[in-house]
Chain A
Amino acid sequence: MTDLSQAQVRERIERRLTSRHRKEKLFRGLGIASIAFGVLAVVVLFTDIISKGSGAFVQSAIELRVHYDEQVLGIDKVDDESLAWANFDGVIRQALLQRFPEVSGRKEKRELYSLVSTGAPFTLRDRLKADPELLGQSETLWLAADDDVDTFVKSLDDSKNGFRGRTSDQKAGWIQQLMESGELKKRFNTTFFTNGDSREPEQAGIRAALVGSLLTLLVTLLLSFPIGVSAAIYLEEYAPKNRWTDLIEVNINNLAAVPSIVFGLLGLAIFINFFELPRSAPLVGGLVLTLMTLPTIIITSRASLKSVPPSIREAAMGMGASRMQVVFHHVLPLALPGMLTGAIIGMAQALGETAPLLMIGMVAFIVDVPGGITDPATVLPVQIYLWADSPERAFVERTSAAIMVLLAVLIAMNTSAVWLRKKLERRW
């Protein structure tokens, strides 16, 4: 052993100190760099999605003076039956021809008629249904433009000539003319929030998918939270520690890592083929997602039960509380914030799933907004997938807009998780 003088020790420590400080700095720098990388990725993702998708919130519309001519419509009174076969197409065509009287010839007229969305006749039908007095009258209306027109108008913002696509020179001329006179404007796209899916981009909306997602999540939450929490309480507070409970625990952890498509196959075999529940229904979707989220909820619930200090249990027991009273009066309220957070994270995960829904028929074209858990429905991520796969150019921006809605829902869910935890959390 050598004796070191105090000076020598000091010198050695100082020498090591610089290297320790350097390491410390390096580590901190690495941490900041990884966070910066994450933030950068999020920023790039968001700017990309927002720049692509923001266009979908406005939509070109054409102002037309329509005359609800009884003869063109071919009806003399307004009731459901006559509205069903009234010729609203004719009314719109007449209005377009009035606006562009110089157009003649079959081909040219076809071009002209295609300025307005094929959904426009239904706008007129709804107007007339709401106000039968309009029959025989005229009114000025903003009607949705066709998606080719919309794409062209929007692309004019980016470049001078814009993307013509299938728009002919003549049609482009009409569009320019309408824009200059203020009869073609981009207006807020309410259709996007009020309609279900459609093959025509200008009529497509996310309402059906959003409602479908909410119904599916409702079923998932109502089933998985109570079942998951009960399972966690039993396993944590009551179950004896033996080989069986170990086996169960391993299985639950395993299930959390099973690819979600497997749950879809299980759902198809059990719920649809055996119990004969309807295909494409949020009920079955919710059941399948329950199977998928249960492990997550059980695991997080157990963790939050574990984090309740044993002193609380002991104190309650000491005051003569029964096992159940201990759990429900003391342990559960303290563990609840953690459980809720886990449940919301599980729900957020379920909200983003498409794979298990493929097998049970929820990857589907749904026009009607579902009214209950047994109506055919689809969910938001599926809607995004279906739109991303569509050839029509106007679906590109709608895909990004739908992603924005999905992100908004996710952010709302995660914020509420944080808020709930802050509000209910108890420190000791």
Chain B
Amino acid sequence: MNKRPASKKLVASALAALTIAASQAALAARDHISIVGSSTVYPFTTTVAERFSRATQFKTPVVESTGTGGGMKLFCQGVGENTADITGASRRIKQSELDMCNENGVDVVEVQIGYDGIVLANAKSAEPFELSRRDIFLALAKDVPNPDGSKTLVPNPYRTWKDVNPALPAHKIEVLGPPPTSGTRDAFAELAMEGGCKSFDWIAAKKKEDKSAYKAICHNVREDGAYVEAGENDNLIVNKLVANPNALGIFGFSFLDQNADKVQGSLIEGREPTFDSIADQSYPVSRPLFIYAKKAHVNVVPGVKQFLAEFTSERAWGDDGYLADKGMIPLPAAKRQQVVADVRKLSALTDLAAKK
């Protein structure tokens, strides 16, 4: 019983080793690009990152999936080695975020990279839906215009799709979608629901008088169980749809593309969600995707400039580029050229209205 445990020595040596390692790490300059941001843009930034590192001598960029809002916070923290060089966003930067960036001395270069379609899909075993944005709004909003035609709001009374629009099947309304923290949900509310909401003139008129009330009417999703928050994982929603043919699900176009044997996209305003209909903007529920680069890092962190060049090269984001294979819908050719020119100049974004 007089074996002496080595724990004391272990403590000392481990602590010493860690202190040395830590101090060295703090001194060493970062030699890889650091990218944060939206989980929707993540598959595209990672694809470019991987190709980029293989084609060049630079280290593979580290891409974190933090969500659009979280990415903006990290990105706008300031300039320096421990802040991100690039952030991905599944919506445009907000004025408040841009202000935060500018306050912290961050000059932002905006790069629109493409589009993403949001689809409402159901199982292949069921009939495809034909919806209008108005149907979507009436089926999913928390409060809807009174069915008797008066200009008042009532809590959503509709139980089945047939109640909303007699042309639709008599299934119970059951929509599986992302939670409010998700960028997809924001975009869905803005594009699909608000699109239907605006079609009521008296609500559209409210936009000028009371913007926040207007937004509340158009964006608030009902909470009585017809809309089911199914988490951020789109694969899970696909599987749930297969198990429940009466339900609809909301997710990004790439998941529809990869699961075409299991689910089908609903027609919205008579348009089927396809690669082409999203690219030519005739499918109404599509949103732009962006990456934002930090101007001050472009010539400091090795590879940022080349990474942006790779991202905006035809072989990446072109009509037949590898990003299109991954499900990103390319910008029209003229728009691409314009963005490339802007990226070369590295013109910083100062005012949102100026460049929309």
Do they bind each other? yes
Residues of A within 8 A of B (CB): 84, 110, 118, 122, 163-166, 197-200, 219, 222-223, 225-227, 229-230, 272-273, 275-281, 283, 328-330, 332-333, 336, 358, 361, 363-368, 372-374, 376, 386, 388-393, 396
Query: Does B243 belong to the interface (CB within 8 Å)?
Result: no
Question: Once the chains bind, are B64 and A364 in contact (CB under 8 Å)?
Answer: yes
Q: Name B1's contact: one of A122, A226, A333 (CB within 8 Å).
A: A333
Q: Is there contact, CB below 8 Å, between A376 and B62?
A: yes
The answer, among B4, B5, B258, for a CB contact under 8 Å with A392, is B258
Task: Give the docked Cα–Cα distance between A273 and B235 (Å).
Answer: 35
When the two chains form their complex, are residues B261 and A388 in contact, meaning their CB atoms are under 8 A apart? no
Contacts of A333 in B (CB 8 A): 1, 3, 5
Question: Quick one: given A226-B14, A333-B1, are A389 and B234 in contact (CB under 8 Å)?
Answer: yes
B57 lies within 8 A of chain A by Cβ = yes
A-B Cβ contacts below 8 A, count: 135
The residues of B that contact A365 with a CB separation of less than 8 Å are 42, 45-46, 49, 62-65
In the assembled complex, the Cα of A392 lies from the Cα of B322 at a distance in Å of 14
Are B25 and A283 in touch, CB under 8 angstroms? yes
What residue in chain A is nearest B47 (Cβ atoms)?
A: A199
Known: A199-B46, A336-B5, A373-B21. A223 touches B235 (CB 8 A): no
Residues A396 and B235 in contact in the complex (CB < 8 Å), given A84-B57, A275-B26, A328-B4: yes
- A230 to B21 CA separation, bound complex (whole angstroms): 23
B7 touches A (CB below 8 Å): yes
Interface contact A226-B260, CB-CB below 8 Å: no
* Docked-complex contact B261 and A163, CB < 8 angstroms: yes
* Residue of B11, B258, B326 touching A393 (CB-CB under 8 A): B258
Chain B 31-47, CB within 8 Å of chain A: the 1/0 string? 01010100100110111
Identity of the chain A residue whose Cβ is nearest the Cβ of B24 in the assembled complex: A374
Given A275-B26, A277-B25, A389-B234, the answer on whether A165 and B46 have CB atoms closer than 8 Å is no
Q: Give the nearest-CB partner of A155 in chain B.
A: B261
Instruction: State the Cβ distance, B33 to closest chain A Cβ, in Å.
Output: 11
Given contacts A219-B18, A389-B232, contact A364 B3 (CB under 8 A): no
Binding-face segment, B136-144, B145-153, B249-257: B249-257
B window 20-77: CB within 8 A of A? 21-22, 24-26, 28, 30, 32, 34, 36, 39, 42-43, 45-47, 49-50, 53-54, 57, 59-60, 62-66
In the complex, are the beta carbons of B64 and A363 less than 8 A apart?
yes
Q: Is the C-beta of B96 less than 8 angstroms from some C-beta in chain A?
A: no
Q: Report if B338 contacts A (CB, 8 A).
A: no
**B118 → chain A closest CB, angstroms:** 14
Residue of B with least CB distance to A268? B74
* B65, A363: Cβ atoms closer than 8 Å: yes
**Residue of B with least CB distance to A372:** B21
- A368-B60, A391-B257 are known contacts. Are A279 and B34 too (CB-CB below 8 A)? yes
Chain A residues near B14: list those with CB within 8 A.
222-223, 226
Which 3 pairs, one residue from A and one from B, show the smallest C-beta to C-beta distance? A226-B11, A222-B14, A374-B25
Please give 8 more A-B residue pairs, beta carbons under 8 A apart, in addition to A279-B62, A391-B43.
A275-B22, A277-B22, A280-B34, A283-B22, A330-B1, A363-B64, A390-B235, A391-B257
| Contact flag A366-B1 (CB < 8 Å), given A283-B18, A388-B233 | no
* In the complex, B259 has a CB within 8 A of chain A: yes
Q: How far is the CA of A225 from the CA of B10 in the complex (A)?
A: 10
Could you say which residues of chain B place their CB within 8 Å of the CB of A197? 46
The distance from the CB of A326 to the nearest CB of chain B, in whole angstroms, is: 11
- Which residue from chain B places its CB closest to the CB of A230 in the assembled complex? B11
Q: A367: which of B10, B43, B50, B82 is its contact (CB, 8 Å)?
A: B50
Chain B contacts for A361, CB-based, 8 A:
34, 36, 62, 64
Tell me the nearest residue of chain A to B9, going by C-beta. A226
Question: With a CB–CB cut-off of 8 A, which chain A residues contact B320?
Answer: 110
Q: Note all chain B residues with C-beta closer than 8 A to A328.
A: 4-5
Is B2 interfacial (CB 8 A cutoff)? yes
| Cα of A126 to Cα of B262 in the assembled complex, Å | 39
Q: Name the residue on A nearest B28 (C-beta).
A: A374
Measured in the bound complex, the distance between the Cα atoms of B254 and A332 in whole Å is 58
Chain A hits for B34, CB < 8 A = 279-280, 361
Distance to closest chain A CB from B155 (angstroms): 34
Task: Identify which of residues 285-306 in chain B touch chain A, using a CB-to-CB cut-off of 8 Å.
Answer: none
**Chain A contacts for B26, CB-based, 8 A:** 275-278
A200 / chain B contacts, CB cutoff of 8 Å: 50
A390 touches B5 (CB 8 A): no
Q: Give Cα A372–Cα B21 distance, bound, in whole angstroms.
A: 9
| Across-interface contacts of B183 in A (CB, < 8 A) | none
Which of these, B7, B22, B43, B326, contacts A229 with CB under 8 Å? B7
Q: Determine if A364 and B235 form an interchain contact, defined as CB atoms under 8 angstroms apart.
A: no
Are A122 and B54 in contact, CB atoms less than 8 angstroms apart? Answer: yes
Q: A333-B5, A373-B21, A391-B234 are in contact. Are A364 and B11 (CB under 8 A)?
A: no
29 contacting pairs across A/B (C-beta < 8 A): A84-B57, A164-B261, A165-B260, A166-B257, A166-B260, A197-B46, A199-B43, A199-B326, A225-B7, A225-B10, A229-B7, A272-B82, A277-B25, A278-B82, A279-B34, A283-B21, A329-B2, A333-B3, A361-B64, A366-B60, A367-B50, A368-B53, A368-B60, A376-B62, A389-B232, A389-B234, A390-B235, A391-B234, A392-B258
